[in-house]
Structure 1
Amino acid sequence: MTQEIHPHTELGYVKLKVSNLKRSISFYRDVIGFQLLKQDDKTAEFTADGKHPLLVIEEIPNAVVLPERAAAGLYHYAILLPNRKELGLALKNLLRHGIDIGQGDHLVSEALYLSDPDHNGIEIYRDRPREGWKRDDQGNYVMGTEPVDIAGLLEEAGDQEWQGLPPETKIGHVHFHVRDLHQAKEFYHSVLGFGIAGDYRYMSALFVSAGGYHHHIGLNLWAGHQAPFAPPEACGMAYYTVVLPDRAELENILHRLESSGHRPEEKDDAWFVKDPASGVGIRLTMK
C-alpha cells in the first residue's frame, strides 16, 4: 500500500536556467511583478513578500533555447495569486506590456499562460474556493479548459494600479513533460506518496498532489513517449522545491527514495534527487 505524503506538504521556490540574466531580471521584475531579493554576476533571487525566495534564475554559458515540446522537462511552473482581483491586476500589466497570453478556466481555477524570454512556461492563476471543486466517479477532479472571463477579470481589477505580486503569492504547482507516464506515476505516487488528483488518460496527463489539492505536480506525454531529456545547457527548470512540514516527514521521504533505488544527495541544508521521468531536479527540505 502506498504511504501518502504529509497533507501539509507544499512547494517552495523554483530555479530556472536562462540565457541572459539582465534581460530576465527585467522581465521577472517589470512584467511578472517579483521583487529582486539578491543578485550576483550569474544568479538572481526573487521574492513576493520581501523575505522568502520564490524564484531563482541562473545564467548558464552557451545557453540553448529549445523549441516547445522538444524534450522532457519543464512545461510550466505556476504562480498562485490569493484572489481574483490580483489576477485581474496581473492581466492588466501583461496587456500593458504587450505580452502574448494564453488562458483557461479550469473550473477549479482561472489561469493565464505566457513564456519568459527563454520560452520557460509560466502560469499565473487563482483558485476557486475548494468547497466548489468536484470529483468524478473515479475520484479525479473535474477540470476543463473553458474561456476565461477576461472582461470580468479586468472589471474586478477596476482602476487600481498594479503594484507587483502581492505578499501572499506562492508557487502553486509545477507541470512537466515526461518520457513515460507509468514511470512518473511510480515515482511520484508510489515512492514519494503524492495522491492521484486526476488520472486523465484521455489527454495523456496525470495530476498528483498533497492534502487533496487539485494538483501540485502535473505530468504529461505531450512532448512524446520517450522524449529525450533536455541537454544540460538548455534553458528550463534546474529544480523545484518540495517543503515537508517537519524532519520526521523529510526522513520518511528520504528512506522511501533510498529503498526504491534513488540516491538523494545532501547539499546546503537540503536534499536533492532527480525526477527520473522528466530529468528535473527536486530539492527536498522542511519548514
Structure 2
Amino acid sequence: MSEATALSSPDHAVNMPAHVDHSHLVVVDLPLTSDWYQKVMGLSVLEKSASGHTLGTGGRPLLTLTTDGNAVRASRRTPGLFHNAFLVPTRRELSRWLAHAAHSVVRLTGASDHLVSEAIYLDDPEGNGIEVYRDRKREEWNYLADGMVEMATLPLDLQKLYDEAPKDNWTGLPEDSAMGHIHLQVTDIPQADAFFRDVLGLDLMARYPGASFFASGKYHHHIGANVWNSRGAPKREAHMTGLSDYTIRFSDADRLEKAVAKLDELEIATTRNGAGISLIDPWGIGLKLSA
C-alpha cells in the first residue's frame, strides 16, 4: 500500500478544506451514456429515474446524468466541462483500468505524466471529457518558492503501464475512487482567478499558458480553468448539454459562509438549499456549495 492514496489518508484530495465531490451532466441519450459509464468507467447506478441516473462507487455518488427534451447541444467553444477527473488510489489500479479500456477497444485521447500525477484521457459518447488518474505521494511533489506546485505535461508510457496490469478480471473502479478534480472551460483567466481564489477562497496552485489551477490544502488542483477552446465565448445558456452543475464541499460552515459573504458583496445571486447554496458562476455554469 506504499503507493496508495487511500480515502482515509489526510493527503487525499477529498480530505482537504474544500474539494469537488460531484458533477452533473445533461445528455441527449441517457440509457446509452449511463450504460457506457457503467461498462467503460466501472461506475454503479445508485439512483435511477426516467429522467436521470446517479452513478458512483462505494455507495458514494460521483456523477449524475439527466436528460432534457429541450436540451441544445453545446458547441466546443461553450463554457462548461473540459473534463471530470476520476481519481483511483494506486498506479496498479490505473494500470488495471487501462488494460480494461484496451481490451474493450476504448479510444483514448491522451495520456500524460504531470509530475504530481499520472493521467489518461478520453471522451464519453457525447463528447464530455474524462480523466482517469492516480496521484503520486505528496512527498514526491515539488513545491516552488511562491507556494505553487510544479506541474508539467510529459509523455506517459502507456505500454509500460499496461504491462504492469494485474492479469485478473476487472470489476469496476475500486470503491475508494473519487472525483479528484474538475477542469472547466471558462472565457477569461483573470476572471477565473478572481472567482476561485478571491471569492471562493481557493489557492492558486499552478499556471499554464491559458490556464489556472486552484485547490485547498496544498493539493495540486481541485479545479482547473482554461480558455484553450473558449476564450471570449458567450456565457453558457440554460438547457445546454454538458456540464449543468458541480459541487464544492467545504470542511466547515465558516469557510462556506465566507464564500457566501463574498458572493453577496459582488451581488451574485444565490439560493439557499438547506446547508448549502446554489448559484450560476460568471460563465453560466451551475455551482453548488455545501459544508
TM over 0.5: yes
1:137 to partner: Cα distance: 4.4
Mapped pair 1:255 → 2:261? yes
1:71 is matched with 78
Q: Which among 183, 208, 216 is matched to residue 210 of structure 1?
A: 216
SS at match of 2:120: strand
* Aligned positions, number: 276
Q: Any idea what the Cα deviations from partners look like across 1:88-125, whole Å, max 9, x if unmatched?
A: 11111211222211111111111111111111111110
* Structure 1: segments with no counterpart, 5+ residues: 1-5
Distance 1:60 1:262 in 2: 26
Question: Aligned in 2, Cα 1:247/1:66: closer, same or farther, shift over 3 Å?
Answer: closer
1:228 is matched with 234
1:23 is matched with 32
Distance 2:223 2:56 in 1: 21
In 2, are the aligned partners of 1:195 and 1:209 still within 8 Å (CA)? yes
* 1:87-102 equivalent positions in 2, closer than 5 A: 87-101=94-108, 102=110
1:138 to partner: Cα distance: 4.0
1:227 to partner: Cα distance: 1.1
Distance 2:265 2:74 in 1: 35
* 1:174-213 equivalent positions in 2, closer than 5 A: 174-200=182-208, 203-213=209-219
1:52 to partner: Cα distance: 1.9
1:199 to partner: Cα distance: 2.6
Distance 1:259 1:117 in 2: 41
Distance 2:212 2:75 in 1: 23
2:68 is matched with 60
1:171 is matched with 179
Q: Which among 12, 27, 47 is matched to residue 56 of structure 2?
A: 47
1:146 is matched with 154
Q: Which among 245, 261, 280 is matched to residue 285 of structure 2?
A: 280
Distance 2:260 2:202 in 1: 14
1:3 is matched with none
2:9 is matched with none
Distance 1:270 1:140 in 2: 29
SS at match of 2:164: helix
AA aligned opposite 1:114: L
In 2, are the aligned partners of 1:44 and 1:56 still within 8 Å (CA)? yes
2:91 is matched with 84
In 1, are the aligned partners of 2:16 and 2:219 still within 8 Å (CA)? no
2:128 is matched with 120
SS at match of 1:88: helix
Alignment TM-score, normalising by the size of structure 2: 0.89
1:233 to partner: Cα distance: 3.2
Question: Aligned in 2, Cα 1:29/1:264: closer, same or farther, shift over 3 Å?
Answer: same
Q: Any idea what the Cα deviations from partners look like across 1:165-200, whole Å, max 9, x if unmatched?
A: 111111111111111111111111011110010133
1:269 to partner: Cα distance: 4.7
* Structure 2: segments with no counterpart, 5+ residues: 1-14
SS at match of 1:63: coil
SS at match of 1:157: coil
Deviating above 6 A after TM superposition, structure 1's stretches of 4 or more consecutive aligned residues are: none
1:256 to partner: Cα distance: 2.2
Alignment TM-score, normalising by the size of structure 1: 0.91
1:67 to partner: Cα distance: 4.3
In 2, are the aligned partners of 1:105 and 1:145 still within 8 Å (CA)? yes
1:259 to partner: Cα distance: 2.1
Distance 2:237 2:103 in 1: 35
Moved more, 236-245 or 257-266: 257-266
